[in-house]
Amino acid sequence: MDYNEVKVNLRKFGFPLSTENALNQIQTIINGETSRKQHLNEDLAMDLISEFIFCETNEEGKSTKPMSRIRYLELLVMICEYFNKTKIKPDNDNCCGDTALNAIFMTLFPQFGAPPQRTNMLVSLVSLAISTYSNLILQSAGVQMQQLGCSSKYSSQLADGLVKKFFTFISTDCSSLHLLPQNAPLFTANLMTSLSELYFNTKTTDTSMSFKEPPRIVLETVVRWINSDPCLCFTAHYTDLQRALPSGAIPMAATLPFLGLFRWCFFAPLCVKNNKDLELYSELHCALIESVMQGWKVYSEQNPRITRPYTLSVHSVIPQQLKDLIDETIKLNDQASMQAVEIVVERLTQSIHAAIISDTIFGNKQDLVNQLELLPENEVLKTLIKRIQV
């Protein structure tokens, strides 16, 4: 069947049958045999997705009006059901999912070339998948986030969309959210990494973003997730992404959530005023220390061939914005401010010490000492510097 004949046959049906048939056709195209016509097949798949799945173009290739809300919801359910019932590879696991379905997901929701409204559909689909325990969608989303980078625009928009359209509308007792690390660990770990970049972000040129706090529901959820499994933060590192990707794809390096989440804990005493929230940051800090110390140890003992990851980097563990904020706080010269600075320095010291003990810190020792010596004097800090210099 040639390029145009496929489209003509699909146009004989109305929604939802046309969309269902298009999904099946796309599955055949994407997971078909490689041939000289592969490029044409990929173009056909993208055209079918645009016209018959998301209704973004008409048969003439021109843009169409946004679909109705009812149609939008019906499409969400249809895609969700398609992933739930389509088990192409029998031995899929709860990290990487189904390789063929991952390829379909990546084609439905690519990084480039799709209209902006596709991002909204992705956020809605992942929200529905979390609520309905549709793990294959979450596994595919986790693979896509890691492949594109957890700090990429794609992953950041997904994480930010989930905060605004899902997290803020649920209670802390949501069972599907609690079970997410168990049902989709790679997605959960990569989501934490993306979330960590949304708040207290020292990489942005927008100074207001440097001191933006995460919503309480996000903070509570992250703490609960890490406490439920100290190994969770390492999931992206020990997952064999190659077997999750289409043939010929090159897996990208994993990024772990430690640095971003530790940064939350460092900034919090200087920026957060709510005492209950401060207690949560303290709990998060303890959970991260436990994960660095015990999580990797547990996994490395079971899998000695896995290379050691890095939880902290010498060059980014103490960002300039944090140093500046510490200096500004010290100038206030009151008891509460000095106590807050003391907590920050102790947390920095504890996190670096944990990374040194677990041998998961990256960078030159002398560079680290030079940075630590710029911090306010502290007995615990002095002990750490002496240990590093030995």
- Which contacts qualify for 329-338: CB closer than 8 Å, 24 or more apart? 329/270, 330/376
Which residues form the domain of 114?
70-204+212-253+299-305
145 & 244 share domain:
yes
Boundary residue ending a domain (65, 97, 120): 65
Quick one: 43 and 158 in the same domain?
Answer: no
Mind listing the pLDDT tens digit for each residue in 164-179? 999 999 887 889 999 9
Q: Is residue 315 part of a domain?
A: no
Q: Is the distance from CB of 277 to CB of 214 less than 8 angstroms?
A: no
* Residue whose structure tokens are 């997605």: 187
Name the domain boundary from 289, 305, 321: 305
Whole-Å CA distances, 365 to 99, 152, 376: 42, 30, 19
* pLDDT, tens only, 62-85: 888 888 999 999 999 999 999 998
Cα 43 to chain centroid distance, Å, stands at 29
The answer to whether residue 282 sits within a structural domain is: no
SS (H, E, C) 226-262: HHHCCCHHHHHHHCCHHHHCCCCCCCCCCCCCHHHHH
What distance in Å separates the CA atoms of residue 351 and residue 372, rounded to the nearest whole number? 13
| 53/101 same-domain check | no
* Residue at 183 is within a domain: yes
Q: Are residues 118 and 247 in the same domain?
A: yes
What is d(CA 69, CA 221) in angstroms, rounded to the nearest whole number? Answer: 30
Which of the 8 DSSP states describes residue 49?
A: I
Whole-angstrom Cα distance, residue 184 to residue 136?
A: 8
Burial category of 139 from C-beta neighbours within 10 Å (exposed 0-12, middle 13-18, buried 19 and up) = buried
pLDDT for 133: 94
Q: Does 266 reside within a domain?
A: no
User: What DSSP character marks residue 197?
Assistant: T
Helix axes 153-165, 135-148, angle to 10 degrees: 140
For residues 90 and 236, state if they share a domain: yes
What pLDDT does residue 301 have? 73
Q: Are residues 4 and 126 in the same domain?
A: no
Residue 390 lies in a domain: no
Same domain, 28 and 108: no
Out of 273, 305, 337, pick the residue that ends a domain.
Answer: 305
């015990």: which residue's tokens? 294
Flag whether 362 is in a domain. Answer: no
Q: Is residue 192 part of a domain?
A: yes
Tokens of 118: 């596709």
Question: Do both 135 and 25 map to the same domain?
Answer: no
Please indicate, yes or no, whether residues 3 and 81 belong to a single structural domain of this protein: no
Split into its structural domains, the chain has a count of 2
Q: Are residues 60 and 138 in the same domain?
A: no
Domain co-membership, 57 together with 121: no
- pLDDT value of position 94: 62
Query: For every one of its 390 residues, what pLDDT tens digit does the chain have, with 9 covering 90 and above?
Result: 566 788 888 888 888 888 999 999 988 888 775 444 555 577 888 889 998 999 888 877 788 888 899 999 999 999 999 999 865 555 556 666 788 899 999 999 999 878 888 999 999 999 999 999 999 999 999 999 999 999 999 999 999 999 999 999 988 788 999 999 999 999 999 999 999 999 998 776 555 556 899 999 999 999 999 999 999 999 999 888 988 888 788 899 899 999 999 999 999 999 999 999 999 999 999 999 999 998 777 767 766 677 888 999 998 999 999 999 999 999 998 999 999 999 999 999 999 999 999 999 999 999 999 999 999 999 999 999 999 987
User: Has residue 45 been placed in a domain?
Assistant: yes
Q: What DSSP state is assigned to residue 168? A: G
61 and 174 assigned to the same domain: no
